[in-house]
Chain A
Amino acid sequence: MESKHNFQRPTFTFQLFFKEWIKSRWALLVTLLAFVGIITYTFIGMSTELRVLGAGTVWESIVMKGIIYFDSLKYLFLLAGVLLAVVQYTPEMINKRLKLTLHLPLPERRIVLSMLLYGLLALAVLFLLVYGAVRIGVGRYYPVEITQWNLAAILPWLWGGIAAYLLTAWITIEPAWKQRLCNGLVALCLLRLFYFDELPGAYAPLLPFLITLIVLSVSFSFYSIIRFKEGV
């Protein structure tokens, strides 16, 4: 029976997704509600402004002063990434449950990748919904240039949320507190790169570098896993 068992079966990844879903579903719901709340509030403010001040004044303040409507979302992407990583990986580290996870009959690399992939997919879905809502919502009131302007503003924050997820996973899986603090400091410096106060679009030349950083930070968690396995 065992010889016929395929230990590489793709459905095993979905089994791991199931475990991650059970851990994170409430956190994802809370994050979604927070985004819905802030976006709704922003749109209400936007339409009130148009009605009270008139389109001309609002237009002038956008063009002349560079006003961005979705400032309040700035750190929500970051918090969403941090929260998801904490709810996914803290239960694994409490009582060293990660031993049970790594003991599943799958290659360890695949187990860790599946857990990270779940988080990245969950954030991708969430952030795409937000991105879509901003695009559609702003597009209803303003021309395409203003919509692009707002989307360009939130794009680095959105990538910052993804980076925050990967870096928090790296910190949480790290078994030693001292090293965790060092990782935390490095993570803060790296995350700062996504949150410089610049005009929308100013990040465009930097985005490939930031995305490379995100891709690289996928590997950081593997380093923590190696240290966990060595019993550091």
Chain B
Amino acid sequence: MDKIITCENITHYYGSRLIYENLNFEVPRGKILGLLGKNGTGKTTIINILNGYLKPRAGECRLFGERMERLSPQTKARVGLLIEGHIQHSYFNVVQIERFYGRFFPRWKKDAYYELLKKLQVSPTQKISTMSCGQRSQVALGLLFAQDPELMILDDFSMGLDPGYRRLFVEYLKEFASAEGKTVFLTSHIIQDMELLIDDCIILDYGSILLHRPTREILDTFHRFRFRTVRPPAAGTHGLLRNTEKTGALWETYSFLSPDDVVRELRAQGADPEDLTQERLSLEDAFIGLTGKY
């Protein structure tokens, strides 16, 4: 399978604080991969490393087979980049920014940009710096679609957007990604949006990857279990049970195991579970189940 992104043995520290150690992952062509993690787990850091704007302590990433710090103009033209906060050259107006970017990219689709901008209540001479965050997100998205890149790297695309703009962004992105051969690598702190969009999911914990699996597989196999018990099990994450805790009169735990195996595991931890129920989870709940609330 054609690998668009490869990261090998990435180790990085901020000062003495470890961000990752030996982080490895690949993104094949045509996949939408979401990077999830709590604040401070290094989501933006990995995007900066991928684009060559941060030198890791060790390891290397490649985009289309080229080393991250030495991307050729040809490869840069194949990568659409959205910076956290929908940052753009805000001193341009709507028309100027299209005119500026349009000449650089070989597959530029001017119509895609203006089609998206029709939805905004902005005049062609309005400066980007005077726009709301939602409007800026549409300008940024319009420019990305006009570029028609093979790979989009989006850092926290939902940041600062109201639900309407978020939904619009996700719908357009989904349409873009459905075209043959398009690959998307994204982060977002609103996991609800990711559930509608991503094929594969990487969940980062402090220092390493906690999980890298297809989203559907996580939703189908990872569950929350609620039960009563007189003798408490070990709280927190132990063995194959994750984030076990008491909430009200009931206990809850999260696991990829079947209900029978969960009961067996709880008994091994000294509990005597009764009335165990299994619940399907949204991606957000699964994320909480895997990483904990705090």
Q: Are A and B physically bound partners?
A: yes
In-complex Cβ contact of B83 among A12, A91, A96, A230 (8 A): A96
The answer to whether B96 touches A22, judged by C-beta atoms less than 8 angstroms apart, is yes
List of A residues within 8 angstroms of B77 by Cβ: 2, 5, 7, 105
Contact partner of A104 among B99, B104, B106, B107, CB < 8 A?
B104
- B246, chain A: closest CB distance, angstroms: 43
Is the beta-carbon distance between B106 and A99 smaller than 8 angstroms? no
Nearest-neighbor residue (CB-CB) of B127 within chain A: A22
Chain A residues with CB under 8 Å of B107's CB are 1-2
A92 nearest CB across to chain B (Å): 9
Interface flags for B72-107 (1: CB within 8 Å of A; 0: not) read: 011011010101010111111000100110011111
**Interface bits A11-22 vs B (CB < 8 Å: 1, else 0):** 110010011001
Is B69 part of the contact surface with A, judged by Cβ < 8 Å?
Answer: yes
Is chain A's binding surface mostly helix, strand, loop or mixed? Answer: helix
Within A43-102, the residues touching B (CB, 8 Å) are 91, 95-97, 99-102
Let me know if B52 is at the binding interface, CB within 8 A: yes
Interface hits, A1-36 → B, CB 8 Å: 1-2, 4-5, 7, 11-12, 15, 18-19, 22-23
Docked Cα-Cα span, A18 to B91, in Å, equals 12
Closest-by-CB residue of B relative to A228 is: B53
The one of B51, B90, B91, B96 in contact with A103, judged by C-beta atoms closer than 8 angstroms, is B51
User: How far apart sit A7 and B51, CA to CA, in the bound complex (Å)?
Assistant: 19
The reply to whether A103 and B104 contact each other, CB–CB distance below 8 Å, is no
Cβ contact within 8 Å between A229 and B73 = no
Asked if A207 is at the interface of the complex by the 8 Å CB criterion, the answer is no
Q: Could you tell me the distance between the alpha carbons of A58 and B151 in the complex, rounded to whole angstroms?
A: 72
B195 to chain A minimum Cβ distance, whole angstroms, is 29
The number of chain B residues touching the other chain, given as a range, is 20 to 34
Evaluate contact between A231 and B74: CB separation under 8 angstroms. no
Residue contact A104 to B76, C-beta cutoff 8 Å: yes
101-119 of chain A: CB within 8 A of chain B: 101-107
Measured in the bound complex, the distance between the Cα atoms of B52 and A106 in whole Å is 15
- For the complex, is B210 an interface residue (Cβ under 8 Å from A)? no
Q: Does B166 make an interface contact (CB < 8 A)?
A: no
Which residues in B have their C-beta under 8 angstroms from that of A11?
103
Interface size on A, residues (CB 8 A): 29
The answer, among A7, A91, A97, A229, for a CB contact under 8 Å with B74, is A7
Does B48 sit within 8 A of A, measured CB to CB?
Answer: yes
Contact across chains for B73 and A91 when beta carbons are under 8 A apart: no
Residue of B nearest to A99 (CB): B53
CB of B271, distance to nearest CB on chain A (Å): 47
Please indicate the chain A residues that have their CB under 8 angstroms from the CB of B51 in the complex: 99, 103
Q: Please, which residues of chain A bring their CB within 8 A of the CB of B96? A: 18, 22
Is B87's CB under 8 angstroms from A5's CB? no
Smallest CB separation, A192 vs chain B (Å)? 33
Q: Say which residue of A2, A4, A5, A229 sits within 8 Å of B69 (CB atoms).
A: A229
Chain B, Cβ-Cβ closest to A8: B73
Per-residue contact bits, chain B 130-146, to A (CB 8 Å; 1 contact, 0 not): 00000000000000000
| Residues of the A chain whose Cβ atoms lie less than 8 Å from the Cβ of B100 | 15, 18-19
**Cα separation A105 to B79 with both chains bound (whole Å):** 9
Counting chain A CB atoms within 10 Å of each CB, the highest count among B48, B53, B79 belongs to B53
**Nearest B residue to A23, CB-CB:** B91
- A103-B76, A105-B105 given; A231·B87 CB < 8 A: no
Which of B81, B99, B105 contacts A99, CB < 8 Å? Answer: B81
Question: Nearest chain B CB to A76's CB is how many angstroms away?
Answer: 25
**Closest beta carbon of chain B to A178's beta carbon, Å:** 14
Q: Is the CB of B106 within 8 A of A5?
A: yes
Say whether B87 contacts A95, CB under 8 Å: yes
Q: Which residues of the partner chain A approach B79 to less than 8 Å between Cβ atoms? A: 103
Q: Chain A residues near B90: list those with CB within 8 A.
A: 91
A-B contact pairs, 17 of them (CB 8 A): A2-B106, A7-B77, A11-B103, A15-B103, A19-B92, A19-B100, A96-B53, A97-B83, A97-B89, A99-B83, A100-B81, A101-B89, A103-B51, A103-B79, A105-B77, A229-B53, A231-B48
CB-CB nearest 6 A-B residue pairs: A231-B54, A5-B106, A7-B73, A105-B77, A105-B73, A230-B55
Interface positions of A (Cβ within 8 A of B): 1-2, 4-5, 7, 11-12, 15, 18-19, 22-23, 91, 95-97, 99-107, 228-231
| Additional pairs, 9, CB under 8 Å, beyond known A97-B88, A229-B52 | A1-B106, A2-B107, A12-B104, A19-B92, A99-B81, A105-B76, A229-B53, A229-B55, A231-B48
